């Protein structure tokens, strides 16, 4: 039986997480702490070659309002205010970025089987984002179809749970760009070696193969090693990434 998605961003999320989440070609370190008042503070550092990037973000929840504030090393300040159900079946997101002369964007998500994602720029009076998607869910399969970039990009994906006991799953995503007539097909799988260790692998039609192993060495704290090889340019060095996430 079909099941309507809660948010547009949830459409195809299972497949995207399987195919792309936690893959790293850089070195990443994340620490999350919580204050006595319930504010979550997350510090993230990423080393890209000789460049080091960092940001600090905080999240405060009060009833149906969630406020996220993020500051990065480029002095950018991003504030997002999410209001759950300002009207039945709706979620509104206000996003403000400084410096940005076009701040004051509003996103509206429709809680129906056909999800929509609209972004309106108050400075120009134009819609900067117009996306739509359809999702179908049953006990072990999630399939989705989305239209993004104002109709230029079509994506179809599926996520299939093979074994819930071992978190074994397979998934695929096919994306077609109308303007460039380009197709990108990515397939992947994941499997839990034990309750604390997960392995993942993926392959796309350009011959790039990636794999990772992630271990929860203490509750909520994860260590991940990932790598990528271009099979069409095997003489090039493989990309290797490390990520460490700490939570109390």
Per-residue pLDDT band for 106 (boundaries 50, 70, 90) equals very low
pTM of the model as a whole: 0.70
Per-residue pLDDT band for 56 (boundaries 50, 70, 90) equals confident
Q: Does residue 190 have a cis bond before it (omega within 30 degrees)?
A: no
Residue 104 has pLDDT above 60, yes or no: no
What is the rounded average pLDDT of the residues 98-111? 47
Average pLDDT across the chain, whole number: 82
What is the per-residue pLDDT for 112?
36
Q: Which CATH number among 3.10.20.30, 2.40.160.10, 3.40.50.300, 3.90.1300.10 corresponds to the domain 8-246? A: 2.40.160.10
What is the rounded average pLDDT of the residues 123-134? 78
What is the per-residue pLDDT for 244?
93
Task: Provide DSSP, the chain.
Answer: -----SSGGGTTHHHHHHHHTT--SSEEEEEEEE-TT--EEEEEEEEETTEEEEEEEEEEEETTEEEEEEEETT--EEEEEEEE-SSTTEEEEEEEEES-TT--EEEEEE-SSEEEEEEEETTTTEEEEEEEEEEEE-SSEEEEEEEEGGGTEEEEEEEEEEEGGGTEEEEEEEEEETTTTEEEEEEEEEEEEETTEEEEEEEETTSEEEEEEEEEEETTEEEEEEEEEEGGGTTSPPEEEEEEEE--
What is the per-residue pLDDT for 88?
62
What is the per-residue pLDDT for 84?
74
What is the rounded average pLDDT of the residues 8-20? 86
Report yes or no: 118 and 126 within 8 Å, Cβ to Cβ: no
pLDDT digits (tens, 9 = 90+) for 214-241: 999 999 899 999 999 999 888 888 899 9
């Amino acid at each position: 039986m079909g099941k309507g998605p809660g948010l547009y961003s949830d459409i195809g999320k299972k497949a995207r997480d399987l195919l792309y989440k936690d893959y790293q070609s850089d070195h990443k370190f994340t620490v999350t702490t919580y204050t006595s008042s319930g504010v979550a503070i997350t510090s993230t550092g990423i080393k890209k070659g000789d460049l080091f990037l960092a940001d600090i973000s905080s999240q405060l929840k009060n009833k149906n309002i969630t406020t996220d504030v993020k500051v990065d090393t480029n002095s950018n300040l991003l504030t997002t205010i999410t209001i759950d159900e300002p009207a039945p079946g709706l979620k509104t997101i206000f996003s403000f970025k400084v410096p940005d002369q076009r701040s004051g964007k509003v996103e509206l998500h429709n809680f129906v089987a056909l999800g929509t994602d609209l972004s309106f720029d108050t400075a120009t009076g134009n819609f900067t984002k117009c996306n739509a998607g359809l999702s179908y869910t049953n006990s072990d399969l999630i399939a989705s179809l989305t239209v993004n970039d104002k109709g230029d990009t079509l994506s179809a994906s599926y996520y299939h749970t093979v074994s819930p006991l071992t978190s074994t799953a397979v998934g695929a995503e096919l994306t077609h760009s109308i303007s460039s007539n380009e197709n990108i097909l990515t397939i992947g799988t994941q499997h839990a070696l034990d309750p604390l260790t997960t392995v993942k692998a993926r392959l796309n039609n350009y011959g790039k193969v990636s794999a990772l192993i992630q271990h929860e060495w203490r509750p909520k704290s994860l260590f991940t090693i990932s790598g990528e090889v271009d099979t069409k340019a095997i003489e090039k060095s493989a990309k290797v990434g490390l990520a460490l996430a700490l939570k109390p």
